[in-house]
Amino acid sequence: MALKATIFKVGLSVADMDRSYYGDHALTIARHPSETDERMMVRVLAFALHAHERLEFGRGLSTGDEPDLWQRDLTGAIEHWIDVGLPDEQDVRKACGRARDVHVLAYGGRAVDLWWQAASEKLARQRRLTVSEVPVEASKALAKLANRSMSLQVTIQEGQVYVVNGVDSVAADIRVLKARYNPR
């Protein structure tokens, strides 16, 4: 018998001063049996960083042709494709062909450095791509906030992210490894 996903309920309040976005979201997250608390919480962080009324979680680890999060326009076209972790560079390039904006939110400490060293040259020409890194201390601290029922407040200002659950807080300075090309 296959293991089933564990369901998490998250009340997420986002105050993103960098984008002038303020909103509350009631999220239901299915955590795949092979997914860690750390990865799931980085997915929640990715949602907060890109929060929008049409942003939704993909089918996750069990589906290779979908991102962790995506936002579609009213016609169904993919506006924003968001992957968490260290995706294969070919998958990232394919995503850049399918979506208007692609964002990779990498985590994992030294593994991020090794992954980016191997992939950066191949991904440098992807004009729609942004790659950012969550510091390992922050992703580990976020994992400790994981609970089946969570209420999280996320404040984003000048690239600094603060996640508070009412008792504990996590601060993260998201580092941009590659910025999206924005012609003027």
CA atoms within 13 A on the CB side of 133: 17
CA distances from 168 to 45, 133, 159, 164 (A): 15, 22, 20, 6
In the predicted model, is pLDDT for residue 2 greater than 90?
A: no
| Structural tokens at position 29 | 């997250």
Percent of the chain with pLDDT over 90: 85
CA 32 – CA 62 distance, rounded (Å): 8
Using a cut of 0.95, tell me whether the model's pTM lies above it: no
Show me where the domains of the chain are located: 6-14+34-178
What tens digit of pLDDT does each residue of 129-147 get? 999 999 999 999 999 999 9
Write out the CATH class of domain 6-14+34-178: alpha beta
Phi, then psi, of 83 in degrees rounded to 5: -110, 145
pLDDT band at 1 (very low <50, low <70, confident <90, very high): low
